Amino acid sequence: MLNTFSLIFLAALLLMCALRLWLAQRQISYVVAHRAQVPASFADRIKINAHHKAADYTVARTRFGRVGLAVEVAVLLAFTLAGGLQALHDFWSARFDGLPYGVALIVSVILLAALIDLPLTLYRQFVLEERFGFNRMTLRIFVADLVKQATLGLVIGIPLLLAVLLLMESMGPLWWLHVWLFWCAFNLLLLFIYPTWIAPLFNKFVPLDDAPLKARVEALLARCGFTSSGLFVMDGSRRSNHGNAYFTGFGKSKRIVFFDTLLGRLQPAEIEAVLAHELGHFKHRHVLKRIGMLFAMSLGFLAVLGQLIDAAWFYRGLGVSAQSTALGLTLFFLVGPVFTFLLTPLLSLMSRRDEFAADRYAAANASANDLVAALVKLYEDNAASLTPDPLHSLFYDSHPPAALRIARLQKA
């Protein structure tokens, strides 16, 4: 039986879908309209065939995103108003109670969603990425990754889930505060153990052995006052032709990681400029600020869930007649993205602001021209569109549009 909250949920879902489809269509139309000619500011750096590839890749990904949206909405409605979650509750409540029931319910929802998403993941990796020359993953590696992810999910996820459900059921009205504190502690622990315990399960990391490049990088680190536990090269080419570099870890476990594809494409001065950009994020404490923002948002969401967990209208409005801690938690995380979608442009704006700040730091501590050269190569290698729709970019993009970003660097 639909209630007022059902109508609010459907209205929010309709708004989200309409906005996402409208933005997607704008992106496709704009990129196609600007496909014929390389933007003037890139005319001497990007060949026309590379520009065509980037446009076609962007359009193909955006169109595929619309298919993903349709599946996402169908799954959400199937679990909620169509009675899927109620059916799972009926099945598991007849066999378990207490914490085992809660774990079984939530794990079954996760597994079903993952199975439904699996064909999309396979298509994205072995058809879409393959078509544009980015896929280097074999089916054997894909299956091995899947098994590792599932194993990690069981080894880490089930104890985590048990702890959360136990806190929710035993800590009284302020359970959400205890869950938040536990969640924060878990995430901080994960930051420490990920580089040395989890990441090596999926990729091979070897110390950077290019002596001149290593000396150059270490000189940059010394100038910037940055210490790390090592410089590593990751075998990203086993799975993809995309290139990148990143920091990982926290405190003394910080690592600097270069994709082997990045090292094979950029010159030493360009690599130094890219690393200086990443150091800019560190110096401006962007990572710490984002962790703080994540913790603040999670506190707010859990406080809202604390008010909804015993509200019968919340369950009935989403197609569930029963009430339980596990059901409330599952429903909240199923429908939460629908109501928080409009926060996307704000988060994107904050991320772009950080990217500009990191670019300024790189220009001051390395070379703006080398960073421009590196970015142009990365845009070309990753088939990133040089002509995204301005509104689509404003809403979604975590990095500034290429033309605007490079124009600012050239001024620097």
Name the residue type at position 253. S
CA-closest candidate to residue 386, choices 368, 366, 406, 367:
406
Please pick, among 270, 272, 354, 359, the residue that the annotation labels catalytic.
359
- Structure tokens given for 200: 């090596």
- Structure tokens given for 15: 């708004």
Q: Are 232 and 208 in contact (CB under 8 A)?
A: yes
Query: Which residues contact residue 197 at a Cβ distance below 8 angstroms, ignoring those fewer than 6 apart?
Result: none
Tokens 């001497």 correspond to: 44
Contacts made by residues 33-36, CB under 8 angstroms, sequence distance 24+: 34/387, 35/387
Query: Any known ligand binding at 277?
Result: yes
Query: Any known ligand binding at 272?
Result: no
Specify whether 72 is catalytic: no
Question: Phi/psi at 168 (nearest 5 deg)?
Answer: -65, -35
CA-closest candidate to residue 249, choices 223, 218, 228, 231:
228
Q: Are 38 and 51 in contact (CB under 8 A)?
A: yes
Rounded Cα distance between 95 and 223, Å, is: 62
Q: How far lies 85's CA from each of 11, 26, 90, 328, 382, in Å? A: 21, 35, 9, 11, 40
DSSP string, 319-371: T-----HHHHHHHHHHHHHHHHGGGHHHHHHHHHHHHHHHHHHHHHHS-HHHH
How many CB atoms lie under 10 A from the CB of residue 392?
21
Do β-strands 245-248 and 255-259 pair in parallel, antiparallel, or remain unpaired?
antiparallel
User: How many CA atoms does the CB half-sphere of 195 hold within 13 Å?
Assistant: 22
DSSP category for residue 245: E
Specify whether 359 is catalytic: yes
Query: Any known ligand binding at 355?
Result: yes
- Structure tokens given for 213: 């490049």
Please pick, among 278, 354, 370, 389, the residue that the annotation labels catalytic.
278
> Residue ranges for the binding site for Zn(2+)?
277, 281, 355
Active site residues: 278, 359
| Residues tagged in the binding site annotation | 277, 281, 355
